[in-house]
Structure 1
Amino acid sequence: MVLDLVLIGLAIAVFPLSVTAFVLVLSAHGGVLKGLVFILAWLACFVAVLAAVLLGTGGKPPAPHSPPSTASSAIKLAIGVGLVGYGWYRHRARRHKDQDGAGQRTEYRTEHRTEHRTEHRTGHRRTSSGGLMARLDRLSLWSAAALGPLLQPWGLVAAGAATVVDADMSHASSYLALFGYCLLATSSLLAMEVYTTFAPDAARVRLGKLRTWITNHQEQALVAVALVAGLFLVSRSIAQLTS
């Protein structure tokens, strides 16, 4: 169980969409407070899912090859297959997009030069990111709290919940494993929140670079996380079902 939770927690922590969204929240006006609310809501939802599973099992792992144990492994297998399929789909879509974009690159450069000359003459430039940041500046604390659970990678969260079915809460090690899992899954958000709180100027620069990198490599990161986590879940669940 511990190995499964470690890998799932890492995949949740580095999930590109969640990290990018949190960087944007921190970059907004009052971002530190909004980020804290985001994390608290994220953790509350995370803990609620685990608590629901433990209440359902009574804190005792099901017997091997029993219906609950088989159902847990089957759920993880289905999630793993779904992640592999999703990663493969995004990989194929990105390759297709790159091939289409190669044929349009010359036309784009011509249009971009024309647009740049127009902006230079008029002194105006369209900034979609500016509009996005303006909307985030108006983001309320309640909205920031709602974003936390909404932006969790729910496929991975469900895989973690299916893994927690095997937790034996009569041992202190299980409490430590679950605490470490929650901390690991939230570690990237906590690190950015603490960094922004105590070194806001340096954090603004570093997080801006992180956001740019994720934006430029988001598809590759999504594919990598989905494929690695999916293949791991498939292999582990098949081993559990056949052992």
Structure 2
Amino acid sequence: MLDLVLIGVAIAVFPLSVTAFVPVLSARGGAWKGLAFIVSWLACFVAVLAAVLLTTGGEPPAPRSPPSTTASAAKLAIGAGLLWYGRRRHRRGPRDRTSSGGMSARLDRISGRTAAGLAPLLQPWGLVAAGAATVVGADLSHTSSCVALVVYCAIATSGLGAMEVYAVLAPDSARARPGGLRLWLESCQERALVAVALVAGLFLVARSLHQLTS
């Protein structure tokens, strides 16, 4: 549960996904386009988990068995990759926002179908893969594992879901504020990316090393 909750939080606050979702909501008919985005996002997310559970049969592999060791090694590799990525982004420093602004302008004009197709591309696949490697240990014969999977999906989608609910309940306010919100998100994006990558990377490396050596 702890591993999935922390990975889910990292996915929910992943800056690139959240920043890209703002212009989708601010477009004409943004609430429907945002809903298409979230449904596609969640469907892809659930499909990855379903593929893992079908592979394992809903039963966790025995400790120190090849599948268990492979899953832990995969998490170690993903964690190391996140640490490398976060360090690289930190050393590179702030990026030019010109290209980001152009992308936001294009997102303002997308259709609902395009928004749905864009959602899987904007998922943080490194973190999604880390979650999938963790789900290898899920035992569907226990209610707690099923609850953990539901909570994981809910947390991972909560950031986008909260923005969607706000756009539906306060559409005028949501349309009036996206410019300032987008600028604020883009100004914090680099620091947030570095923080998420480093924290998630350290956690995954520590947990996988513990699993491999215990």
TM-score interval for Structure 1 and Structure 2 normalised by the shorter chain: over 0.9
What's the Cα RMSD here? 1.9
The match for 2:107 is: 136
On the 8 A contact 2:23/2:178 being kept in 1, the answer is no
Among 199, 218, 231, the alignment partner of 2:170 is 199
Q: Distance in 2 between matches of 1:132 and 1:67?
A: 45
Does residue 153 (structure 1) correspond to residue 124 (structure 2)? The answer is: yes
Among 193, 214, 227, the alignment partner of 2:198 is 227
Q: Count residues with an aligned counterpart.
A: 211
Residues 67-87 of structure 1 show CA distances to partners (whole Å, capped at 9, x for unaligned) of 000000000000000000000
The match for 1:180 is: 151
**1:73-152 equivalent positions in 2, closer than 5 A:** 73-94=72-93, 129=101, 132-133=104-105, 135-152=106-123
The match for 2:184 is: 213
| Cα distance, 1:201 vs structure 2 | 2.0
Among 111, 124, 133, the alignment partner of 1:162 is 133
Q: Return structure 1 stretches of 4+ with deviation > 6 angstroms.
A: none
| TM-score normalised according to structure 2 size | 0.93
Identical residues among aligned pairs (%): 71
On the 8 A contact 2:44/2:120 being kept in 1, the answer is yes
Does the C-alpha gap of structure 1 residues 174 and 197 become closer, same or farther in structure 2, counting only changes over 3 Å?
same
| TM-score normalised according to structure 1 size | 0.82
Instruction: Kindly name which structure, 1 or 2, has the bigger radius of gyration based on alpha carbons.
Output: 1
Q: Distance in 1 between matches of 2:30 and 2:139?
A: 39
Helix, strand or coil: the match of 1:4? Answer: helix
Helix, strand or coil: the match of 2:92? Answer: helix
Residues 74-117 of structure 1 show CA distances to partners (whole Å, capped at 9, x for unaligned) of 0000000000000000000007x79xxxxxxxxxxxxxxxxxxx
Which range is displaced more, 168-177 or 68-77?
168-177
| Cα distance, 1:30 vs structure 2 | 1.1
Residues 166-211 of structure 1 show CA distances to partners (whole Å, capped at 9, x for unaligned) of 0000011111110110000000100000100010122234544332
